A and B are shown apart, each in its own frame.
Chain A
Amino acid sequence: MQIKTLEDLQAAKSLGLSQLYPDKPKILVGMATCGLAAGAQRVFDTLHKLAHQEHWNGVVEKTGCIGFCFKEPLVDIIQPGQPRLTYEQVNEEVATALFEEVAAGQIPEKHFMARLDVDDMVLNGGPRKLYKGKLKGFVAKAPRYEDLDFYKLQRHLAMRNCGFVDPDNILHYVARGGYFALYKALTEMTPEEVIDAVTKAGLRGRGGGGFPTGVKWASCRKAQGWPKYVLCNADEGDPGAYMDRSLIEGDPHSILEGMLIGAYAIGSSEGYIYVRAEYPLAVKTLQRAILAARNAGLLGENIFGTGFSFDIKINLGGGAFVCGEETALIASIEGFIGEPSPRPPYPAQAGLFGLPTVINNVETWANVPLIIAKGADWYREIGTEGSKGTKIFSLVGQVKNVGLVEVPMGTTLRQIIFDLGGGIPGGKEFKAVQTGGPSGGCIPQHFLDLPVDYDSLQEVGSIMGSGGMIVMDNSTCMVDVAKFFLDFLIDESCGKCIPCRLGLKRMREILEEISTGRGSLADLEELQSLSEAVKDGSLCALGGSAPNPVLTALRYFRNEYEAHILERRCPAAVCKELITYTINPELCNGCTACVRECPQGAITGEKKEPHRLNAALCIKCGACFEVCKFGAVEVS
């Protein structure tokens, strides 16, 4: 269907709405990568087959990720005049049961998670109540989304469509107010007004840098040179961060619409999305979305008959973390190795092929249509003084509820980790939360009440980064974590600047000494001074922020380093040279599970008798520890 006028757009919207909320039952399966990894494809196939076999008068559809990754696979049941009902941890068997009950006109109770009474529809005239009259029976008593700890403090703005639309269906996107912001920008606003709105809204780069987006656009608009380019950085390389993948897989058109508006603002007709090849589903989803937008006339020549033309190409990343740095990313699109280059000139003046270029990350682009549609003043209301809007975090690691959370800027770490995340599992203690990936740092307990925004995180030595939040408990060793990040950075350093290439290696050697109990207190001073040198002597942000994980670890967890050095002890029992595994004969009941797993044959003993571990043979792989159900394998 071609969308050339406002009437076309409205017609597409009504058609889309009738598909989103049809007058017959609909079953939705969350099929982003996290869902698929948990078995969503089999669930979908089961439902699809049943619907076909039974000639069911209903719809089975896929959708993206709503963020409840710990409950995957998720299935939603939408019936006319009823709240949307979400079911958790659905496998093929559960799916079959769900289908049979729905087909019989009943409301399933097993595996129920929550009900959604109101669909926010933030870009489509506001909330839409999903049911009429009074709720009865099971549904009336069922918990609502707002009652769930994981959902309470959240506000899904960038993720507004994730888990609601079929990402491959452009009409669904339009039904929820999509492409209306583009129409408004093209027909009612000048490019300068668009830039002003984004500037006034206070939108800052969500990729980590936090640079004001409007300022970047304004400078690119003013820059001489033609053509100009619009880039989307979807090279989400921070380990522990996957919000961009989820946005692309759940709502690709929000990114396309953002880029279209950006292109209009700076005067560009050509865009690129640089996306990680490690995200095959995201790549496919983007390809399909671009094709759909082209077919609808929303990408290509003369969009909405305004004379504005813009198209987007996809570029696959080659698997290099440094390409998330904007100048390296540009080099990569040009077909070179991903080495950063000095700034200035900034990409806004001389970027891709030496021409003015705006580059923003996925989540930033997804925010743009919101600002245009709802206005800068509306957007400014959300967040803190210096950081406006919401931010998506991937809350992972040693925390009960793992998943994606989108909260207003300024929400505290404690609220995110303990209220939403449900705290630390297994009765263990919180130790630190790592934000900002390899460029960030580990934040200790006494900063838990810190409001999360760009500036506060920087003050304590970390950064916002792209939004990874990895929770660590007392079984995580801070020397080991620092080693881990250095390994990562050594691997990913492009090698251009010597302090980064060699300094990080030397820091890694020192940490190796410490973790094997051969370190000295003087090593800590050397780590500190090397860190400063790497920071000052590197060209790009990778090197410039590389020492952050080590520096914050030294600052907040110095006693743990000292324990390794002075007592030759790893308090978290992680560093292999400093730990021993033993079997507690009082707890061991001789089930022989560990004997079967031990690759060394180091464990011996009769069945149903306490076993023994021969320390001389042990390689400390921890296989016995993992497999023992009785806590008899002890590590000290």
Chain B
Amino acid sequence: MSVTFKSLEAILEHYPPSPEHLISALQEVQARYNYIPSEALTAVCDHLGVPLSRGWAVATFYKAFSLEPKGEHEISVCLGTACHVRGGRNVYDKFRRELALPGEEGTTRDLKFTLRQVRCLGCCSMAPVAQVDDEVHGHLNQRKAGMLIKQYRAR
């Protein structure tokens, strides 16, 4: 999705030019483009009267923000304590192998999937769990993780 002047303008309109809106504005940008394009970061900072350095600090501090484009489906694998003691790490590794990601987290080359770790989705009773986009899948094991990827690949 390209960053058009118009769509950004529409987001910035909601915010009075004051620094306290930095995080909310970035959240809206993130939701709109699925990441924070550098042009957008500059525009938000200019609009709110925040130095770019602070915008950058905030955008890299919080996990909710990504400076790189994300995949079509986002897989958040829970590595909270309950999931950990029920084998969440093995499930995570399975996702990583299946998506052939070089690093711990990241996006597949075809921009189909982004894999990331989260610390507790609050569904501990169904550990281990992973959330794909908005759907929570519980009681996972490595076999089910493989099936999930197949399912979403076919969508």
Contacts and interface: CB of A to CB of B under 8 A. Distances in A.
Given A316-B27, A626-B143, A33 B94 contact: no
A34 B85 contact: no
Contact of B62 (A236, A319, A397): A319
Q: Which of A317, A318, A622 has the most CB of B within 10 A?
A: A318
B38 interface: no
Contacts of B137: 37
Interface string A313-338: 00111111100000000001111111
A481 B85 contact: yes
Given A337-B57, A397-B86, A37 B119 contact: no
B134 A280 contact: yes
Contacts of B20: 333-335
Nearest to A279: B122
Contacts of B82: 239-240, 396-397, 470
Contacts of B80: 239-240
A402 B122 CA distance: 13
Contacts of B138: 37-38
Contacts of B50: 335
A622 B137 CA distance: 20
A241 B65 CA distance: 24
B7 interface: no
A37 B62 contact: no
Nearest to A238: B120
A15 interface: no
A396 B90 contact: no
Given A318-B64, A621-B93, A626 B87 contact: yes
A238 B81 CA distance: 9
A319 to B, nearest CB: 3
A626 B141 contact: yes
Interface in B39-87: 50, 54, 57-58, 61-65, 79-87
A597 interface: yes
A102 B127 CA distance: 34
Interface in B100-149: 118-127, 129, 134, 136-138, 141-143
Contacts of B17: none
A394 B124 contact: yes
A72 B62 CA distance: 33
B99 interface: no
Q: Which of B50, B65, B119 has the most CB of A within 10 A?
A: B119
A599 B95 CA distance: 12
Contact of A320 (B62, B79, B120): B62
Contact of B23 (A236, A246, A318): A318
A334 B19 CA distance: 8
Given A34-B123, A334-B20, A396-B124, A437 B64 contact: no
Contacts of A333: 20
B62 A403 contact: no
B62 to A, nearest CB: 3
A318 B57 CA distance: 13
Contacts of B62: 318-320, 337-338
A277 B19 contact: no
A317 B118 CA distance: 14
Nearest to B83: A239
Contacts of A337: 57-58, 61-62
Contacts of A237: 119-120
A245 interface: yes
B125 A240 contact: no
A318 B61 contact: yes
A529 B83 CA distance: 30
Interface residues of B, number: 47
B97 interface: yes
Contacts of B127: 396-397
Contacts of A476: 85
A626 B86 CA distance: 11
B29 interface: no
A56 B129 CA distance: 37
Contacts of B22: 335
A69 B126 contact: yes
A320 B57 CA distance: 13
Nearest to A352: B20
A591 interface: no
Given A337-B57, A337-B58, A627-B143, A434 B64 contact: no
Contacts of A226: none
A330 to B, nearest CB: 11
Contacts of A597: 142-143
A242 interface: yes
Q: Which of B62, B85, B97 has the most CB of A within 10 A?
A: B85
A36 B137 CA distance: 10
Contacts of A402: 124-125
A472 B65 CA distance: 34
A481 B85 CA distance: 8
B125 A621 contact: no
A238 B134 CA distance: 21
A468 interface: yes
Interface of A: 33-34, 36-38, 69-70, 72, 236-242, 245-246, 277-280, 315-321, 332-338, 394, 396-398, 402-403, 434, 437, 468, 470, 472, 476, 481, 484-485, 488, 491-492, 494, 597, 599, 621-623, 626-627
Given A468-B81, A623-B94, A627-B142, 15 more contacts: A33-B136, A37-B123, A38-B126, A69-B126, A239-B120, A241-B124, A278-B122, A337-B62, A396-B82, A396-B127, A398-B86, A402-B125, A621-B94, A623-B90, A627-B143
Ranked nearest first, the 6 interchain pairs of A and B with the lowest CB-CB distance are A318-B62, A239-B80, A69-B125, A319-B63, A242-B122, A396-B124
26 contacts: A239-B80, A239-B84, A240-B120, A278-B122, A280-B134, A315-B24, A316-B23, A318-B63, A319-B63, A320-B61, A334-B20, A335-B20, A335-B23, A336-B54, A397-B86, A434-B81, A437-B81, A468-B124, A476-B85, A481-B85, A484-B81, A484-B84, A492-B119, A622-B142, A626-B143, A627-B142
